[in-house]
Structure formats: C-alpha cells, structure tokens
Amino acid sequence: MMSHHLAESGGGGEEETTKSLICALNYISRDLPLPPHLFSSVSSIYHHAASSPSPRNKFTPLGGDLMGEFEDALLKQRTNCESGSRLIELYNNRNKTLIQRRLSELQELPSTRGEDLQGKCLLELYGLKLRELQRKVRTEVSSEFLLRRNCADVSNQLFDWGMMRLPRLFYGVCDPFAKEADDQFQKKRNAERLSLLEEEEKKNLIKTAKKKFFAIVLNAVLEFQLQIKATQKRRRQRNDCVQAWHGRQRHRATRAEKLRLMALKSNDQEAYMKLVKESKNVRLTILLEETNKLLSNLGAAVQRQKDSKLDAPRSEPLQEINITESDTNDDLLQGQRQYNSAIHSIQEKVTKQPSLLEGGELRSYQIEGLQWMVSLFNNNLNGILADEMGLGKTIQTISLIAYLLENKNVTGPYLIVAPKAVLPNWVNEFATWVPSIAAFLYDGRLEERKAIREKIGGEGKFNVLITHYDLIMRDKAFLKKIDWYYMIVDEGHRLKNHESALAKTLLKGYRIKRRLLLTGTPIQNSLQELWSLLNFLLPHIFNSVQNFEEWFNAPFADRVSLSDEEELLIIHRLHHVIRPFILRRKKDEVEKLLPGKTQVILKCDMSAWQKVYYKQVTDMGRVGIQTGSGKSKSLQNLTMQLRKCCNHPYLFVERDYNMCKKPDEIIRASGKFELLDRLLPKLHKAGHRVLLFSQMTRLIDVLEIYLKLNDFKFLRLDGTTKTDQRGLLLKQFNEPDSPYFMFLLSTRAGGLGLNLQSADTVIIFDSDWNPQMDQQAEDRAHRIGQKKEVRVFVLVSVGSVEEVILERAKQKMGIDAKVIQAGLFNTTSTAQDRREMLEELMRKGTSSLGNDVPSEREINRLAARSEDEFWMFERMDEERRRKESYRARLMQEQEVPEWAYTTENQDDKSNSAKNHFGSVTGKRKRKEMFYSDSLSEVQWMKAVESGEDISKLSVKERRVEKTSKRAIKPNQVVSD
C-alpha cells in the first residue's frame, strides 16, 4: 500500500517521501528515537496509505501485516524512551566499538604502504592504545588542581585535605576486615588533626598577645607624634608670620624698584628722584650725587664752549662746580637742569628748504634734521648725524651748507672729509642739488693737486673742498693753512680710535670752528670709542679719557656685579650726556613708503676639491698646489684660509693657472659658484638686477671669468678703481636703459656711500666679521629712491667657518640696542674670540661639512618673489637637468686634481703644525700692536681685500716713511 502511494505521488513528492522513510529506517536500526518532525512525516505517510483504496486486493493482507509491524515499532519507540544514563552508556559502548574496529583495521594494514602513510597509521594506533592512560592522567591532574585550589583558601587550611587523595572504597557484604582497618586509620587521622588544631590555637594565642603589645606601643608612638606635630605647627606658624613680614618688606622694595625702573624707562626724572629719596638707597644716592656733579660740570663747560669763538683744544681741566651736600639732597636734578639749559638754548624754526637747493624737495624728516643742525650752529656746538644708512645724510649736509650760505651768510670754507670711494657721490650731489656753490674735489696725482691748490689759493674762490682721509694727512702742510669754518667727516666712526693718525691730525693739526660727523653705524660698545667721538666734537669738555672712565666707574669700584636698575641708570646718564649731540632716525620710523628688505640665507655644499683643501688647512695648515717640485704651500692666518676654501679652490692656485681651459670646472669646483650658476640665470630672466659683494679681489677676478663665459654684462668696482672712474661706473649702472645685469663690488670699497637703488637684489658672497659692513653693503640698494622689494642673498657653506661668522654677526647685531653697561661696555677681546673660534674649528675639522643642504625646490621658494617666479624657476631647473643629463653638479673625489692631495714630509708636517697652531694655543710670542694709521686708504683697502697682515704692512710703511723723511728737507712738502 505504501509503495502504491509512492507510485501515485510522482515527481518531487516521491523523492521527499523516500528520503523521509530512509532517514527513519536509519534511526530505528541504531535504536534511536525519531525526531518529532520525522515522526510526524512518517505517520502522515502511513495514514494516507491506509485511507487510499488499493487496486491490488490480493496483496492487501500482506501489506497490512507489514504496516502493522511498523506501527508497533513506532509505538514502541514512543512509549519505551531510554534514560540519560542509558543513552550515555550506549554512546560509550558505540565509541568503544568504533575504537576496537579502528584498532583492528590499523593492525591489519600491510607494511608495504608509503613511509608517510605508515607513520601516520602508527601514530594513530599508539594514540588509540594510550587512550585509557590519557584519561586517567587527565582525571588525576584535574583532581590535584582542584585540591590545591581548595587548600589555598585560608578558611580551609585546617581541613585535612589529604583524605581526598585516597581512593574511595565501596564495601560489600564480605569486606568487614577492610572496613575495620579503614576505621582505625580514620581515627588516627582524626587524632593528628586534633593535635594540629591545639598547636594552631596556642600559636594564635601568642600572636594575639603580641598584637596587643604592639598596638599599645603604636598608640604611644602616635600620641608622641601628635605632640611633635602640634609643636612643629606652632613653630611653623611663628616662622610663617616672620617670613610674611619679610616678604611684605621685599614686596614693598621690589614694587619700589619696579616703580623706579618704570620712571627711568619713561624718562620721568622728577618721579625717579622722589622714589630714590623714599627708598633711602645709599648706592643710588651716591651715584646720583656723582652724576649730578658731573652733569653740572659738563653744563658749565658746554656754556663756556658756546661762549668761545674758536673751537680749539685747550689743556686746562674742567672747573668743578662745588655742590654742597644740602644742595644735593634738596635737588638731585640740579646738574641735569643746568646741562639741559646749556644745550640748544637758542631755537630757530626751519619750515622750508633753502632756495639754493635745486635738485628736488627735501622730505619732512630731512627738514627736521636740517633744523637740528641749525640749532647746533646757533648754540656754537658740534654734533653727529647718525641716521640709518639710506636716509640721505649727504643731502641733509648739503642743505645745511646752503642754509648757512643763504640765511647766515657763512660762505665757508667747508671741508668735507670722506672715504675715497664716495668722493664722486659727493661731487655729483653738489652738482645736482646746489650747482651755484663752488665745490672742488681735491684728489688726484701731485700735478693735479698742485693745479687745484693754485685754483683755490685765494680766499673766497671756493666754498667747499671735498677730499679723503689719505690726503688730510699727506697734504696737511697745505690744508692746515686754511682756517676752516666747518669740517664735515663722512663715515665718522673712523674716528672712534683717538690714537689713530687721522684723529690726531684733525684735532691738533687743523684750525676748525665747527665739526659735524656723519655715520650710519651705531655707537659701538666701548667707553674709549664713545669718548673719542665726544673728544673730537667737544675737546674743551672731554679732554681726558681717564677722567671720563672714572666718572662712571668710581661709584662701583668696590662691586663688580650691578643690578638692572643701576645699569639702566648709568646707561640713561651716559645717553643723557651724548643725546643732545646725536640725531639718529631709522628707515621704519621716517620712511613709511620705502619697500621692504628681506635677507635670505642660502646654504650650499662644498665640492670634493674644497673639502680636500678645508681638511688640509684644519689638519696641517697648508694645501697642495700645482708646482713642479710637488710640494705643498704653507699658509698663515688660518681663519682667512678656511674662508678662501669656502669661496673657491682657485684662490690657492698660481695666477698662471688656466681657468678657462675647463669652463665647467670653474662652476663645479665651488659650491657657491654652482649655486650662483643656478640662481643668476633665473634672476636675469625675471628682470632683476644684482649687486654682488665680496671681500676678496682675487675672487672677483674669478667671478669676472665666470660672467664672461656666461655672457652676463657686468661692471666692477674695488679698491683699485680710480676716483674719477667710480662716478662714471655708477652713472652707467643707474641709467634707465642700462644693459648691465650685475655690479661686482668689494665690501670695503663698494659698501660705503654709493647709490645703487636701480638694483633690487644684493648677493653677499662672503660675510664680514663686522655685521655693519654687510649692512652698509645691503643699503647700497635699499635706500631712498628704491621702488622694488630688495632681496638680500647671503651665501654660506654648510658646516664651515662661515656659519660661525654668521652666528657671531647675529650676536653682535643683537647687542647694538644695549650700548653701555655700568660704565664698562659689554664686549670681549676680538682676538680672544677669534682664537677660541679657531680652536673649535680645528677640533671639529670637516665632520659637519655638507650637512643640512637645502634642495633646489627650497632654494627656489626662498629666492622667488612671487608664485609665478617660483614656477618659472622650477621649469628652468627641470630644463637644465635634462640638458645636463642629470649628472652631478659638484666635483667628485675622483675628479679632484692629483696635485691637490700633495702632502709634505712628516718632520715638515710636525714643524708646520707647531708653527701654525702656536697662534691658537697661545704659545707663540705676541707681536707688538701699532695703532697709528700709517697706511693710506687705498693701501688699507687692498690689504684687507687680499687678506694680508696689516700690522706687517704698517711696520714696512713706517720704515719707508722714516727713510724718506731723512732725505727730505725740513721745509719741503711731502707729496706723491
């Protein structure tokens, strides 16, 4: 019947029905209960088959028997369900059967199989055999773990857990003896347990007694500590009250000191004097009394000079003004008032420029400067015009001369003393602004100067005579015969050494009524330098440098360190002394529309040739050169030699070396030239014009060769350029349609008084020890008349002596703001600084060369003035790299000439090192220093630019002068 039902279902129904029956048969054959869903499925099949009619009636009795048996089996499954323990037992028996079957299979396997398969079968066989042993081991391990964990509990430590390790015995009817033995053993274990409990109780009693004793002791200690704390608290309260009282006193003193500092900084002298009296500070009172006497004496001396008709030095000392103690106590500002009343007492308002000025209109601050100089004239005083470079000190001086001619009828004669490099500029400015004034340039050879003497010999034939320092001393016999009404000294900081020949000549050899100094350099930190300037301006007053130092050092002779207030007070007093005679303005204060100036430090690497020379100088003090004998060249002045290594190795080779033989070598041999080779084409294409400053004329020679090889049009000016040619060179470069792209200048000769504002880019090839020299060079372009932003590029070799020079320059520029410190000036010996720096360089050697070199993209970002320029520079770099096939830009080690590695014998090397480093260690005998300027301006510039020893040249020049003087008659004029 069931099969008939399956036949009638057909399709998918037959397949599902057959699967259900087979699955049910599998469960029944394993004596397992049917799942509910399978049981319901089989029951529905059965009931459906029973209800449907069968076409085969003859098979019905047989079919009924089969289904009846199946129904009985199902009912038996439903009613006789096995328990859980029975099922577990069946599960275990089944697993044992499977394991035994697998063991027999593994044992019957033939040994002819592969080694891998045979090994796996053996491992499986051994694992099945050891199954019972593993189960026992696991059971014992887990039992021991549980036992140990329970024993670790403090509350269960007295329990006898050893019994848990004994096997559990199940006694039967026939085991009375075993049970009795076990009972005896249990009693013994109980007795031992009781004894352990008694011992533990005794220990607990002893422990409790100890705890009580220690608790009593601890309580006593705590009580004692509380007593100590209470005592300390009372003592601390007393100390706090005392300290608070002293703190309030210090706070009052500090507040008073701050108020005094604020009064000093705000220049409120009345309030400061009142606060000093209230504070009763003995040291400050002594200082104020001394400075009050000083200012009273100075005021009287200034008044005497104003009343005098001729400003010539006199030998009598200052007449001291007797100020009693009562007067001092009543008014500590009496000296200051007297000093102030003696200066600029006569006022004259200047509202417009003189009509003689035809070259243009003066700016407002220039008219203020003219009014200040006129006030000096009216009060019979001298002064220093110290405006920052580029603000037109020359024009203001010319306006003073024009004003005196026009309004005071002072026709002169006026003597203008300036560096030789700026003489053409003075002549051009006079011709431009006041062509009606008779201004003569006194320069040239002996014949030319004789012609000028004859031309200006008569009085009233000239108004202004322009000359330079050298001729002031050389032609003193002629120039001192003239009674000069006004002497104007350009670059007046040359007079800071009162022992120099120029200062002595001007003070003692010339008759001068009025003096005016022009300088763009701030007053340096030297008491003697300050006195030298004041002595030149006011020789009646400041006639002894010893007295000047004693004025400000005597109050503090017994104490080295000074407080900030004392330093500021002395600085204020010294500034008060010099302030009436100095006028200084800065560009950012008076010239708001002047374009900005940006300084960019461009660092570059050294070539292999430079590094070889740099190492030779630091190690041996000599370098290898190309000579027939194969010897090296010994060097002096190691710092200068290191700077030459940073610039170019060609500075060491002989002059007959063919630099044009290898055009690329002149670029690849120097890191700075390689950087210039990338920078200059970009600046030229962008339409910028360049001023390049260097301190070495030999380097300028190499730069000339490079510029000619690259077809850059340029001009050159250094110490050898004649005076009449300098004005022509400036005119050619400053013309509106000038074809010249670059101007090569030496820092010493070209950094003074030149107007080159048609250029907007300045390149400092090698920095000067004195940052003011570089500042003056930069201001050749950044001055009145400049319409573009000025970009200054300072080239520095990474890790070399140039970085030390740059750092020292920054330090020197940083102390310019604080001029004077407590009567002494905050400087150390320059020679000592350089000696220590040289020692450090020798120790460091070449270890840091070439570190932290900027990439081409970074250099383009620093050099570009706009985003368009930056991307143009980037494209030019890419084109250049493709053109050069991406080769190395700097010379490599294998390309360095072999003769550059030339070294000397070991004995010579030790002697050379001993001789050259003696100057560093201080073991060599110090040379005698000479402070007289026996060198001329041209000779001095040449010596500095070529790196020669100036002291040796001075000695040589003095010997020549002595020899020549013996041969000259007493009444003969010394000239060229």
Q: Do 33 and 105 reside in the same domain of the chain?
A: no
Is 747 inside any structural domain? yes
Residue 845, helix vs strand vs coil = coil
Specify whether the CB–CB gap between 284 and 276 falls below 8 A: yes
User: What is the model's pLDDT at position 963?
Assistant: 46
pLDDT of 599 over the 80 cut: yes
User: What is the model's pLDDT at position 237?
Assistant: 92
pLDDT of 257 over the 90 cut: no
Q: Which residue, 46, 81, 116, sits at the end of a domain?
A: 81
User: What is the model's pLDDT at position 705?
Assistant: 87
Residues 6 or more apart in contact with residue 743 via CB below 8 angstroms: 690, 691, 692, 714, 715, 716, 717, 729, 733, 750, 756, 759
Is 180 inside any structural domain? no
User: What is the model's pLDDT at position 224?
Assistant: 94
Specify whether the CB–CB gap between 686 and 872 falls below 8 A: yes
**How open is the CA angle 307-269-324, to the nearest 5 degrees?**
65
Is 918 inside any structural domain? no
pLDDT of 178 over the 70 cut: no
Residue with tokens 């004793």: 213
Is 755 inside any structural domain? yes
Backbone angles phi, psi at 291, to 5 degrees: -70, -30
Is 267 inside any structural domain? no
User: What is the model's pLDDT at position 867?
Assistant: 85
pLDDT of 898 over the 50 cut: yes
What is the C-alpha separation between 606 and 394, in angstroms, rounded? 42
Q: Of the ranges 9-18, 22-31, 525-534, 872-881, which is most confident?
A: 872-881
Per the prediction, the chain carries an average pLDDT of: 73
- Mean predicted confidence (pLDDT) in 376-398: 84
- Mean predicted confidence (pLDDT) in 581-599: 75
Q: Which of 973, 377, 286 is closest to 570 using CA atoms?
A: 286
User: What is the model's pLDDT at position 635?
Assistant: 54
Which residue would you say has higher pLDDT here, 442 or 27? Answer: 442
pLDDT of 761 over the 70 cut: yes
Is 781 inside any structural domain? yes
Q: Do 571 and 601 reside in the same domain of the chain?
A: no
pLDDT of 26 over the 90 cut: no
Which residue would you say has higher pLDDT here, 940 or 37? Answer: 37
Backbone angles phi, psi at 521, to 5 degrees: -95, 130
User: What is the model's pLDDT at position 527?
Assistant: 60
**How open is the CA angle 309-314-317, to the nearest 5 degrees?**
120
pLDDT > 90 fraction of the chain, expressed in percent and rounded: 5
Q: Of the ranges 30-34, 325-329, 360-364, 945-949, which is most confident?
A: 360-364
pLDDT of 667 over the 70 cut: yes
pLDDT > 70 fraction of the chain, expressed in percent and rounded: 64
Q: Do 490 and 385 reside in the same domain of the chain?
A: yes
Residues 6 or more apart in contact with residue 677 via CB below 8 angstroms: 667, 706, 710
Q: Do 898 and 948 reside in the same domain of the chain?
A: no
pLDDT of 921 over the 50 cut: no
Is 325 inside any structural domain? no
- Mean predicted confidence (pLDDT) in 184-212: 89
Q: Of the ranges 584-593, 683-692, 829-838, which is most confident?
A: 683-692
What is the C-alpha separation between 760 and 781, in angstroms, rounded? 6
Q: Do 946 and 813 reside in the same domain of the chain?
A: no
Which range of residues forms the domain containing residue 92?
87-129
User: What is the model's pLDDT at position 145?
Assistant: 83
Q: Of the ranges 458-472, 473-487, 883-897, 913-927, which is most confident?
A: 473-487
Q: DSSP characters for 351-387?
A: -S--TT--S----HHHHHHHHHHHHHHHTT--EEE-P
Residues 6 or more apart in contact with residue 116 via CB below 8 angstroms: none
Residue 169, helix vs strand vs coil = coil
Q: Do 675 and 817 reside in the same domain of the chain?
A: yes
The backbone region for 437, taken as left when phi is positive above 0, alpha when psi lies in -120 to 50, beta otherwise, is beta
What is the C-alpha separation between 546 and 534, in angstroms, rounded? 14
User: Which of 400-404, 406-410, 660-664 bottoms out in mean pLDDT, i.e. has the lowest?
Assistant: 660-664
Residue 557, helix vs strand vs coil = coil
Specify whether the CB–CB gap between 768 and 830 falls below 8 A: no
- The alpha carbon dihedral of 46, 50, 53, 56 has a sign of positive
Q: Of the ranges 5-14, 476-485, 611-620, which is most confident?
A: 476-485
Q: Do 479 and 535 reside in the same domain of the chain?
A: yes
Q: What's the distance, Cα to Cα, between the start and end of the chain in Å? A: 152
Q: Which of 82, 93, 71, 83 is closest to 24 using CA atoms?
A: 71
Q: Which of 164, 935, 263 is closest to 569 using CA atoms?
A: 263
- Mean predicted confidence (pLDDT) in 166-180: 58
- Reported as a single tens digit per residue, the pLDDT across 313-332 is 343 333 333 433 334 444 55
Which residue would you say has higher pLDDT here, 619 or 904? Answer: 619
Residue 553 CB-density burial (10 A; 0-12 exposed, 13-18 middle, 19+ buried): middle
| pLDDT band, very low/low/confident/very high, at 591 (cuts 50, 70, 90) | low
Could you check whether the bond before residue 649 is cis, i.e. omega within 30 degrees of 0?
no
Task: Return the structure tokens found at 652.
Answer: 């060491």
Q: Of the ranges 186-200, 277-291, 737-751, which is most confident?
A: 186-200
Which residue would you say has higher pLDDT here, 492 or 400? Answer: 400
User: What is the model's pLDDT at position 269?
Assistant: 66
Q: Do 610 and 579 reside in the same domain of the chain?
A: no
Q: Do 473 and 531 reside in the same domain of the chain?
A: yes
Specify whether the CB–CB gap between 527 and 823 falls below 8 A: yes
User: What is the model's pLDDT at position 111?
Assistant: 75
Is 313 inside any structural domain? no
User: What is the model's pLDDT at position 618?
Assistant: 78
- Mean predicted confidence (pLDDT) in 63-73: 63
Residue spans of alpha helices (H) in 483-586: 501-509, 527-537, 545-553, 564-578
Cα-Cα-Cα-Cα torsion 196, 198, 199, 202, nearest 10 degrees, comes to: 160
- Spell 643-663 as b/e; 16+ CB within 10 A means b: bbbbbbbbbbbeeeeebeeee
Q: Do 899 and 822 reside in the same domain of the chain?
A: yes
What is the C-alpha separation between 634 and 624, in angstroms, rounded? 9
pLDDT of 405 over the 80 cut: yes
Q: Which residue, 546, 569, 590, sits at the end of a domain?
A: 590
User: What is the model's pLDDT at position 548?
Assistant: 64
pLDDT of 358 over the 60 cut: yes
Q: Which of 382, 398, 572, 573 is closest to 492 using CA atoms?
A: 382
Q: How many CB atoms lie within 10 A of CB 144?
A: 12
Query: pTM of the prediction?
Result: 0.54
pLDDT of 632 over the 70 cut: no
Q: How many CB atoms lie within 10 A of CB 154?
A: 6
Which residue would you say has higher pLDDT here, 282 or 193? Answer: 193
Structural domains counted in the chain: 5
| pLDDT band, very low/low/confident/very high, at 885 (cuts 50, 70, 90) | confident
User: What is the model's pLDDT at position 172?
Assistant: 53
- Mean predicted confidence (pLDDT) in 556-582: 64
The secondary structure of 31-90, three-state, reads: CCCCCHHHHHHHHHHHHHHHHCCCCCHHHHHHHHHHHHHHHHHHHHHHHCCCCHHHHHHH
pLDDT of 832 over the 80 cut: no
Specify whether the CB–CB gap between 751 and 780 falls below 8 A: yes
pLDDT of 52 over the 80 cut: no
Q: DSSP characters for 171-211?
A: --TT-HHHHHHHHHHHHHHHHHHHHHHHHHHHHHHHHHHHH
Q: Do 528 and 626 reside in the same domain of the chain?
A: no
pLDDT of 818 over the 50 cut: no
Q: Which residue, 849, 882, 908, sits at the end of a domain?
A: 908
Residue with tokens 């500042």: 775
User: What is the model's pLDDT at position 828?
Assistant: 35
Task: Return the structure tokens found at 499.
Answer: 């022992």
CATH number, residue 669 = 3.40.50.300
User: Which of 217-231, 283-297, 916-930 bottoms out in mean pLDDT, i.e. has the lowest?
Assistant: 916-930
CA–CA distance from 828 to each of 765, 821, 887 (Å)? 27, 13, 48
pLDDT of 213 over the 90 cut: yes
- Reported as a single tens digit per residue, the pLDDT across 83-139 is 777 888 888 888 888 888 888 888 888 777 778 888 888 888 888 888 888 888 888
Task: Return the structure tokens found at 255.
Answer: 């507040």
**How open is the CA angle 840-842-843, to the nearest 5 degrees?**
65
Task: Return the structure tokens found at 123.
Answer: 């491992």
Q: Do 489 and 638 reside in the same domain of the chain?
A: no
User: Which of 216-220, 795-799, 826-830, 938-942 bottoms out in mean pLDDT, i.e. has the lowest?
Assistant: 826-830
Residue 475, helix vs strand vs coil = coil
